[in-house]
Amino acid sequence: MNIKKIGLTALAASLVSVSAHAGEMSVAGGASIGLKNTSKTSSGKSWTMGNQLTFSGSGELDNGMNVSLSFVIDQGDDASTTTNTRDPFDSHSVTISSDTLGTLVFSGEGGSSAQSAIDTTAAGDAWNNGSSITVKASEAGDNSMLYTLPSLMDDLTIKGSYSPGGTGGASATAWSVGYTGVEGLSVDYAQGETETVSAPADATTFKASYAYSSFTLSYSDNEYDTDATTGGQDIESWNLAYTVSDDLSIAYGTETHDAEGSAVDEEVEYFNVSYTTGGVTLSASQYNYEGDGNVAGTAGELERWALSATFAF
């Protein structure tokens, strides 16, 4: 039991409750029901369910600073832990912010580095819908800190993060820069570290998107370089989205995964139709893979279709 951590948490809670001019508590949630089918697997068609509740509390201190607490309940998220001591508890963080000092987020669990916070691919991580690969990012971990600098110029966002070293590893840092100063254009660049004794690594992300009329074209490149003989990878992704109406949208995206030491790249393409009405989003997707697991020929071909209904409340 980490007595020091418990003591600091209790102290922070007491400061907010005593010094805050006004505080409020809110709960937001989401749930989903899905059906998917992946070719060349023994499971065939399968149903899925998602559920999540986010509890948030915030208040303003006497010195003008804002403090907020976020706690997520997501059943099964940490079920892989050997003792299940945190299941079903998920990400939790404290945020301290002011206009002059910027914003500091301390994540007890579930935090992101400045690089991993933006490493979702342009195609929305299509690899995560059937692919056997593992996508890597810079180190984040428990008890990490993410700091957003106060505004230096319009439309420019600069972030930095710090993650304590794990067993046998040094601490890791990351930074990111985002710019939205041109109408319709968004550009982000980030770098981060993973510090381990056996295989330290660097992760780099570049993302850009441009919206014109009802079309949005997006591109991303995520590169992971390691000192180990294997484990490096590069993921290049494109996505074209078309907004048919306020409720209906369609998208087509591709991803190419170049794994160091593999003769075959994994290529993914997907097509998605999404309809939203009254807090409900209905979605239908088709995914096609070639070179899955960096395996050539028909053995590396894979298909998946998925249907889902997502509810926000």
Give me the pLDDT at residue 1, please. 34
Give me the pLDDT at residue 176, please. 97
Q: Is the pTM of this model over 0.85?
A: no
Taken in order of first residue, the domains within the chain and their CATH numbers are 111-312 (2.40.160.10)
CA distance 295 to 201: 25
Q: Are 16 and 67 in contact (CB under 8 A)?
A: yes
CA distance 273 to 252: 9
Q: For the chain, 313 residues long, give each residue's pLDDT as a single digit of tens.
A: 333 333 333 334 444 443 445 678 899 999 999 998 887 655 568 898 988 899 999 998 888 899 999 999 887 655 444 444 455 677 899 999 998 899 999 998 888 999 999 999 999 998 887 776 777 788 787 889 999 999 888 899 999 999 887 655 678 899 999 999 999 999 999 999 987 767 788 999 999 999 999 999 999 999 999 887 777 899 999 999 999 999 999 999 999 999 888 888 999 999 999 999 988 999 999 999 998 877 888 878 888 899 999 999 8
Give me the pLDDT at residue 48, please. 87
Q: Are 223 and 231 in contact (CB under 8 A)?
A: no
Half-sphere exposure of 63 (CA within 13 A, CB side): 10
Beta bridge partners of residue 192, listed in sequence order? 174, 203
Give me the pLDDT at residue 77, please. 58
> Within a 10 A sphere around the Cβ of 84, how many other Cβ atoms?
11
CA distance 137 to 113: 9
Q: Is 68 exposed, middle or buried (0-12, 13-18, 19+ CB in 10 A)?
A: middle
Give me the pLDDT at residue 5, please. 35
